Structure 1
Amino acid sequence: MTDASRGPLAGVRVLDLSRILAGPTCSQLLGDLGATVLKIENPATGGDDTRQWGPPYMKDGAEDTDLSAYFMCANRNKLSVAIDIASADGQAQIRRLAGVADILLENFKPGGLAKYGLDYDSLREVNGKLVYGSISGYGQTGPNASKPGYDLMAQGYGGIMSLTGEPDGQPMKVGVGIADVMCGMYACVGILAALRHAEATGEGQQVDVALVDSQIAWMINEGVNTRLSGEAPLRRGNGHPNIVPYGVYETADGHVIVAVGNDRQFARFCQVLELPDLAGDARFATNPARLANRDALAEHLVPAIRARTTQAVIDGLEGARVPVGPVQTLPQVFASEQAKVRGMVLDMEANGLTLPLIGNPLKLSATPVTYRHPPPRFGADTDRLSRDDPFAEE
């Protein structure tokens, strides 16, 4: 029985064998949208590896718990069930759960679950409607399929590091595990598409999503720039390959982001900086000209912006309808009224503890996301295995 108040995926059953970040990101999204997610954790290792990826850890009194910040970031709205899939009993339990699940999610190495009889071909015999999501480093096929996949390797292999960082610096990864996170999002979209097909036809399928494939996909404009030109893009720090001025500029008391998207905005931008002649200068009057003369333009803009405070630049450019914004620290982000009003600052109560989390960005007018279960302690819901319906939510 579905309950629309729980979200658009109320009644959907997810058997989650994934760990670390990409898979858990996907299953947390499904859980936020109302699905019941049983997170299967290995009792031999104490559960998901990220439970030990700290500090910081949530404390119970003076003691660290197994709720690291890393674990909590991607494991809301899940129920933790301890099962050893290397044992015959554990394999039988997984087959039982897969028989009534709508979705199974795993991120083992390709072929890694076959030795347990828990691969897609085996479980489709148990449940022909099962949507079986497989996340791996390089995918289920290809010459690199057997290689392990980590976010840093995916960022390196997929190209983003080659164009991130200062022009004269070393290749640089993004500051968070973005390859993992985006892979989890792509996996969620693919799984929901397969689920719709299964509900319409009764036919399940395997959804094969790779960190590297996902990372290549979100190279977007720089990727197509390369395909079209045949040339590798240059690292430009915070500069943009196709728009000038667009980047981070030093002010008298900090930094500011400026994003001038067209020539009309550039003319207003120059007025605010009291450099009106630049807008009529043939070297800078159009975006192609500004791209060709990027360094010459910077010689005018850098000192003009550096002479003003951050707030003065923001006030002036906002008044002139030129895109501008601050560079905030994370404490500033979570203290901002914008983040609070948009529900991005989320606290969940669990056994007397207040868990500080980040909210889901999806805003659905009829079936909003729900926060039903805080990130679980390891094995907290294993007793569900004795129930007739382990997926039933109270």
Structure 2
Amino acid sequence: MSSNKAALEGIRVIDMTRVLAGPIGAQILGDLGADVIKVERPGVGDDGRVYGLAEVKGKDGVNVRQAGFFAAANRNKRSITLNHSKPEGQEILRKLVQGADVLIENYKVGDLKRFGLDYESLKAINPRLVYCSVTGFGQTGPMAARPGYDGLFQATGGMMAVTGIPDGQPGAGPLKAGPSLVDFITGHNVAISVLAALQHRNQTGEGQHIDIALLDSSVAMVSHIMQDYLLSGVVPPRLGNGGNGGGPADLIHTKDGMLYLTAGGDEHWRRLTVLMGQPELYQDPRFDENYKRGKLNRVELIDIVNAWSRNFTSEELQAKFDEVSIPAARYNELPEVWEDPQVQHRGLRVTTPHPWSETGTVDLIASPLANMSESPATIRRAPPLLGEHSAEVLSELGYDEARITELQDAKII
């Protein structure tokens, strides 16, 4: 763990988000050193606490209610419970806002305004507040009131249109990506926008309202494929496992597994033909242009490569590719990811102390920002129990033990 000062030390974030996109954004800020206070519903908490196929097992019969969704997006946070529909809860939240730098929420458009907790209301308390609203379709427009989840936006933003088995092949059709990629990318956009707003505040002294929509992220993440469409007006085909920049780029089979090969550039293709002992393919009119290799004759070319690659084990073939600098990587099932020597070298599995887990620890996925030389992201806290820090945070706000007990009895916290 680095002893360097965290980049966001001294920044306080109020996280009023649930499930994945908003919590991911707040977690990134927490990884970078911010004090993130997660505000959850009393007795219920974040919906993500029960999403997923596995959960952290508690010790001594404690149900920690930390399923995969929650554990992936809520480390480095303190959890308080708060009923903000009650005046006493609103008072607590306003006190939090007075000393906060950032508030992130993902309620339906207009929900928090009913309780005087919208940006304009809280701006009057703290003009320096950066207030980020995360919704499916944005704060305005004909669909603003609709709820939205990741799969909807993979479908409507174009991601599924370019993902899946090509037409004419068995099983042809669009496919949703396995992970909730739109949520994940939206969470990063939340963090980026908040960091930019904090820098703007440093320059001007002004806070601002940020409107982040999963729809916007879903369209943007189609990236160069969508840009190709905008430039050409031609709808690109689904390519299955094929690369988008040329060919050959695809999964190829070995004696004992698969590798992903990317030899899309002309020089990589030339080296591959020599390695295969078939240099004549380099000038073959079927494959002498990138577009032919990657699009027109892609299936035919991959069949030729597979006929050759099946003669070697994955380890043997990787060594051959490495020797001539052809980009390739082994296909890993999830257990094999953690056996990969480079994954281990990068420390991507982080065993974190967890006082309520059965083993006393929990394994988490490292932040991709952990290798900043002066202010790396760190994991300092395991995901919290529901309301674990309510008394602690209220005490910091000036509430004494008797008042905290009254608020608990009244189910305000």
* Length-normalised TM-score, structure 2: 0.90
Q: Which residue of 1 aligns with 2:194?
A: 191
Aligned residue for 2:125, secondary structure, equals: coil
- 1:373 aligned residue: 381
How many Å separate the matches in 1 of 2:239 and 2:60?
A: 46
Distance 1:335 1:79, change over 3 A: same
Pairwise CA distance, 1:335 = 2.5
RMSD: 1.8
Structure 2 distance, partners of 1:303, 1:21, is 43
Report the Cα distance in structure 1 between the residues aligned to 2:52 and 2:24, rounded to whole angstroms. Answer: 18
CA contact (8 A) 2:243 2:262 kept: no
Native 8 Å contact 1:247 1:258 kept in 2: yes
- Which residue number corresponds to residue 171 of structure 1? 174
Q: How does 1:133-144 map to 2 (within 5 A)?
A: 133-144=132-143
User: Structure 2: how far apart are the matches of 1:300 and 1:85?
Assistant: 64
CA drift at 1:62: 7.1
1:56, 1:171 → 2: CA distance? 28
Q: CA deviation at 1:151?
A: 0.4
CA deviations 1:77-115 (Å, max 9, x no partner) are: 000001011111111111111111000000111111111
The 5-angstrom pairing of residues 320-331 of structure 1 reads 320-331=324-335
1:4 touches 1:10 (CA, 8 Å); kept in 2?
no
2:368 corresponds in structure 1 to 361
Q: Which position in structure 1 is the counterpart of 2:290?
A: 287
How big is the shift at 1:249?
A: 1.4
Structure 1 SS opposite 2:338: helix
CA distance in 2 between partners of 1:149 and 1:127 (Å)? 30
CA separation in 1, counterparts of 2:75 and 2:216?
26
**AA partner of residue 270 (structure 2):** A
Give the deviation of 1:6 after TM superposition: 4.2
Are 2:340 and 1:336 equivalent residues in the alignment? yes
SS at structure 2 position matched to 1:347: strand
In the TM superposition, residue 271 of structure 1 has moved relative to its aligned partner by: 1.6
Q: CA deviation at 1:118?
A: 0.6
Q: Per-residue displacement from partner, 1:253-287 (whole Å, max 9, x unpaired)? A: 22111001311111111122222210122332331
Structure 1 residues 252 and 388: alpha-carbon distance in aligned structure 2, compared to 1, 3 A threshold: closer
Pick aligned residue for 1:48 from 41, 46, 53: 46
Q: Give 1:124's aligned amino acid.
A: K
Query: What is the aligned partner in structure 2 of residue 219 from structure 1?
Result: 222
CA distance in 1, matches of 2:121, 2:260: 53
Match in the other structure for 1:384 = 392
Give the stretch that moved more between structures: 302-311 or 157-166. Answer: 302-311
1:101 maps to 2:108: no
Q: Find the partner of 2:58 among 60, 68, 72.
A: 60
Distance 2:150 2:343 in 1: 27
Residues in 2 aligned to 1:209 and 1:184: alpha-carbon distance in whole angstroms: 9
Distance of aligned partners of 1:329 and 1:87 in 2 relative to their CA distance in 1, 3 Å threshold: same
**Residue of structure 2 equivalent to 1:162:** 161
Candidates 248, 252, 262, aligned match of 1:245: 248
Identity %: 37
| More off after superposition, 277-286 vs 24-33 | 277-286
Alpha carbons of 1:97 and 1:112: their partners in 2 closer, same or farther (altered >3 Å)? Answer: same
Q: Provide structure 2 residue ranges, at least 5 long, that are not aligned to the other structure.
A: 399-413
Q: Which runs of 5+ in 1 are unaligned?
A: none
Shift in Å, 1:120: 0.7
- TM-score, normalised with respect to structure 1: 0.94
**Cα gap change, 1:251 to 1:216, in 2 (>3 Å):** same
Q: Offset at 1:236?
A: 1.0
Tell me which amino acid in the other structure corresponds to 1:50. Answer: G
Residue pair 2:95, 2:397 contacting (<8 A) in 1 also: no
Shifted more, 135-144 versus 290-299: the winner is 290-299
Provide the C-alpha distance between the structure 2 equivalents of 1:119 and 1:15, rounded to a whole number of angstroms. 13
Alignment partner, residue 260 of structure 2: 257
